[in-house]
């Protein structure tokens, strides 16, 4: 299914049913009086977070959603049936905006969470409601009110714990394939990844987290170049970012450093808050270098970048080092969730160990 993260829809709540004008006409009851019932309420429209979908693609096919109208009242004090509500499932992580004013109406994060986006019309009153001591034969009733109609803009921000960030062909998709069951496309040309992918990293019973991969960033992304900037919103809900760097020996050291600096600048141009999020440095494609050269190159690149945070060296192709990375990520995520005794202290940089998997 094609990945879609924005959509415009129209929602129409049901109208309220009209009240009824009716009088009792029964044998042996000469003064029956009014008995017109009220109408039913119109159905409302709700959006509900659904944990089983992660794209808004269905809204490219169906764009209008209507709730049921309320039925009119009847004689013998019969109240009209209320209209059925319309519940529209959307992916968890969807923001709902008023399309015309761009007002944020709600943010559906938890599966099962609901937001009423269109109020159903209220019922009209039957003539029984107007009976009084001075008006014993009322002939007036009221009509039901119309249901609310709205144009909404839906914007999806994927829910993930860890986000992968890097230049095209840094090996982000390969890394995601190595740590999860996700199967993003992998090829030897830039921009293989055209839309975000999610993968669940499972480390055992009750030990898992979600990792997101987005298209690579290039210079000028903040001005619209490339694909990555459009999808950076999907990293805004993450707790931690992994900056994936290709350790390929064919690339000059200054080119690698320039690439990392470029990514930093583009990230800051998009969002200062996102640029300031905790970030780890992950050198990928370690299998391309023998062990002595690998250690020397990683040390040189780390010094050139002036990096003081956690550093990991992995190979997404062979799986080497990814186990240690995932264990450290899980521990840090637990700390960030407040389940650690010292949530403020990040883990120290971890030296690469070729025997660790």
CB 22 within 8 A of CB 125: no
Domain with residues 162-336, CATH architecture: 3-Layer(aba) Sandwich (3.40)
Per-residue pLDDT, 186: 52
Per-residue pLDDT, 20: 94
- Which tens digit of pLDDT belongs to each residue from 226-241? 445 566 766 777 888 8
Per-residue pLDDT, 71: 94
Average pLDDT over the chain reads 80
- For residue 146, CA distances in Å to 70, 120, 121 come to 10, 7, 5
- Closest among 74, 21, 67, 60 to 42, alpha carbons compared: 67
- The pair of three-digit structure tokens given for residue 347, joined into one six-digit string: 């883990």
Of the listed ranges 129-133, 208-212, 247-251, 317-321, the one predicted with least confidence: 247-251
Compute the half-sphere exposure of residue 247: CA atoms within 13 Å on the CB side of its CA. 29
Percent of the chain with pLDDT over 90: 25
Domain residue spans in the chain?
Answer: 6-156, 162-336
- Which tens digit of pLDDT belongs to each residue from 36-79? 999 999 999 999 998 777 778 788 888 999 999 999 999 888 99
Q: 151 - beta bridge partners?
A: 10
- Closest among 11, 150, 10, 8 to 85, alpha carbons compared: 11
Quote the CA–CA distance of 50 and 143 in Å, as a whole number. 36
CA 3 to chain centre: 12
Q: Which residue has the higher pLDDT, 25 or 240?
A: 240
Q: Which residue has the higher pLDDT, 312 or 214?
A: 312
Conformational region of residue 76, where left means phi above 0, alpha means psi within -120 to 50, and beta covers everything else: left
Per-residue pLDDT, 184: 54
Range 6-156 has CATH code 3.20.20.70: no
Q: 98 - beta bridge partners?
A: 152
What secondary structure, in 3-state letters, does the chain show? CCCCCEEEEEEECCCCCCCCCCECCECCECCCCECCCCCCCCCCEEEEEECCCCCCHHHHCCCEEECCCCCCCECCCECCCCCCCEEEEEECCEEEEECCCCCEEEEECCCCCEEEEECCCCCCCCHHHHCCCCCCCCCCCCCCCCCCEEEEEEEECCCCCEEEEECCCCCHHHHHHHHCCCCCCCCCCCCCCCCCEEEEEECCCCCEEEEEECCCCCCCHHHCCCCHHHHHHHHCCCCEEEEEEECCCCCCHHHHHHHHHHHHHHHHHHCHHHHCCCEEEEEECHHHCCHHHHHHHHHHHHHHHCCCCCEEECCCCCCCCHHHHHHHHHHHHHHHCCCCCCCCCCCCCCCCCCCCC
């Amino acid at each position: 299914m094609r990945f879609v993260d924005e959509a415009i829809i129209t929602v129409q709540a049901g109208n309220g049913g009209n009240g009824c004008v009716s009088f009792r006409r029964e044998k042996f009851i000469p003064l029956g009086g009014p008995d017109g019932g009220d109408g039913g309420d119109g159905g409302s429209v709700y959006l509900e977070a659904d944990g089983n979908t992660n794209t808004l693609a269905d809204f490219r096919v169906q764009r209008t959603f209507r709730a049921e109208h309320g039925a009119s009242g009847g004689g013998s004090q019969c109240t009209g049936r209320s209209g059925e509500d319309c519940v529209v499932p959307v992916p968890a992580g969807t923001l709902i905006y008023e399309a015309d004013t761009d007002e944020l109406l709600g943010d559906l994060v938890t599966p099962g969470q609901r937001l009423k986006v269109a109020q159903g019309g209220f019922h009209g009153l039957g003539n029984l409601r107007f009976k009084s001591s001075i008006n014993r034969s009322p002939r007036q009733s009221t009509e039901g009110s119309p249901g609310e109609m709205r144009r909404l803009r839906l914007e999806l921000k994927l829910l993930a714990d860890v986000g992968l960030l890097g230049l095209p062909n840094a090996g982000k998709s390969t890394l995601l394939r190595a740590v999860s069951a996700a199967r993003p496309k992998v090829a030897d040309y830039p921009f293989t990844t055209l839309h975000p992918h999610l993968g669940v990293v499972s480390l055992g019973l009750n030990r898992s987290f979600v990792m997101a991969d987005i298209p690579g960033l290039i210079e000028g992304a903040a001005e619209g170049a490339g694909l990555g900037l459009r999808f950076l919103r999907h990293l805004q809900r993450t707790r931690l970012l992994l900056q994936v760097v290709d350790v390929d020996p064919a690339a000059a050291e200054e080119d690698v450093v320039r690439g990392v600096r470029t990514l930093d600048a583009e990230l800051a141009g998009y969002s200062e808050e996102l640029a300031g999020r905790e970030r780890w440095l992950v050198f990928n494609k370690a299998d391309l270098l023998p062990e002595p050269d690998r250690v020397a190159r990683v040390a040189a690149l780390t010094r050139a970048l002036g990096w003081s945070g956690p550093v990991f060296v992995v190979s997404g192709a062979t799986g080497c080092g990814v186990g240690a990375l995932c264990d450290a990520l899980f521990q840090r995520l637990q700390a960030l969730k407040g389940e650690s005794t010292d949530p403020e202290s990040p883990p120290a940089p971890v030296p690469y160990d070729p025997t660790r998997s």
